[in-house]
Amino acid sequence: MSQIAPASPPPDSPAVTQKLPSEHLRRIVGTPPGRVVGFLTRFVWAFLTWLSPESRDALARFVGNLAYRLGIRRRVALENLALAMPEKSDAERREIARGAYINMSRVVLESLPSGDRLPRDWAEQGVEGDAAWQALKARVATGKGALLVTAHFGNWELLGDMLIRHGIPLDALVRPLKGALNTRIAENRVRVGAGLIYPRGAIQEIIDAVNRGESPFMLLDQALPAKGAAFVPFFGKLASTTPAMAVAAARTDAPVFVVMGVRNGRGGARFRMEVEGPILPPAPGECADPITEHTARVTAALERCIRKYPDQWMWLHRRWKVQPPPEAALPAGTTPPPSASGAPPAG
């Protein structure tokens, strides 16, 4: 395992300058809340902003534990864990699931306040994978962007904030969403200096962003309809995955880095970054489907981090709900997880 290096330079260093995204990437597309809901939620955002980071963390733990006890999507989480980690006991999987609920509550309550959402010592938490981190910064220093991949892990919203503060200009790949919660999160993304890339014309937007020196930032751990998906191994079972990252890498020659924000165990939204990369595509002629192979390599990096800290990933999502076509198969040498001894209890 790589040693944890200091995350330098510090946030107030004059060497770190923020490059704003293009104006057309700062628009928010979606359905905003109605007038009444918008009025009421402003009080919620103000209350969360007023709370200290430690108080928000305590509230998140309470809400997460309550949601788990009420059984909201608990069956989904336990089924996913039985599929992905059958070697663990039922008690271990339940504890991981409980942690995932708490983490999701933390993500929401940490991401909504206005102002500075990170504690003052955010830059002192360090970076694991210093060689990859230095390679990423060296790429950005050339004036061209990299392709950054993460997962619904730790707090991906605040991870983007951290990267921007470290001088990595970001454009987040997003979908138009509805409601007060999603509108607020989109507003905060723009406020901290991130651009927003929407699905229509996304590949060309990614290419343009890389050439401008911006780094597209995408989540690669959600199911995609089979028609447009690459099916790659994830915890030993084929999972439908967007090939957008691999397609963009092929068209831009931009290096791909996996960046994850790992909670350090203390309250107050403290994370260290774990960076892996550049994750290279297959060499010409190495395989029949280089896009799927590159997607698989990056997905494997996500899995390695999730396995180390499983309670920080979003097990509540039906990751394997889309079935692969009959001709799809696990690559040679890939060992699927052993079958669980019976269905997981519903709790």
340 within domain boundaries: no
Number of domains in the chain: 1
Give me the phi and psi of 215, to 5 degrees please: -115, 105
Asked whether residue 343 is domain-assigned, the answer is no
Question: Residue 33 domain-assigned?
Answer: yes
* Both structure tokens of 134: 């230095």
Q: Give the residue from 28, 343, 76, 307 showing the smallest Cα distance to 191.
A: 28
d(CA 224, CA 232): 12
Number of Cβ within a 10 Å radius of residue 24: 9
Task: Quote the CA–CA distance of 195 and 321 in Å, as a whole number.
Answer: 30
Q: Which residues pair with 196 in a beta bridge?
A: 172
In a domain, 242, yes or no: yes
Do the domain assignments include residue 327? no
User: How many Å separate Cα 37 from the centre of its chain?
Assistant: 28
Residue 177: per-residue pLDDT: 81
266 located within any domain: yes
pLDDT per residue rounded down to tens, the chain (347 residues): 445 555 554 444 434 567 778 888 999 988 888 889 989 999 999 999 999 988 999 999 999 999 999 999 999 999 999 999 999 999 999 999 999 999 999 999 999 999 888 888 888 889 999 999 999 999 999 999 999 999 999 999 999 999 999 999 999 999 888 889 999 999 999 999 999 999 999 999 999 999 999 999 999 999 999 998 999 999 999 999 999 999 999 999 999 999 999 998 766 688 999 999 999 999 999 999 999 999 999 999 999 999 999 999 999 999 999 998 877 767 655 555 544 333 333 34
Q: Is the pTM of this model over 0.85?
A: yes
Strands 147-150 and 215-219: parallel
Token duo for residue 195 = 């651009």
What's the CA dihedral at 161, 166, 167, 168 to 10 degrees? -60
Predicted pLDDT of residue 30:
85
Q: Assess if residue 336 is contained within a domain.
A: no
List phi, psi (to 5°) of 128.
-100, 130
Read out DSSP for 223-264? ---GGG-EEEEETTEEEEE--HHHHHHHHH---EEEEEEEE-
pLDDT at 10: 45
What is the structure's pLDDT at 4?
A: 59
- Give the span between the Cα atoms of 109 and 107, in whole angstroms: 6
Structural domain for 293, as ranges: 22-312
Task: Please provide residue 8's backbone torsions phi and psi, each rounded to the nearest 5 degrees.
Answer: -110, 160
Residue 295 located in a structural domain: yes
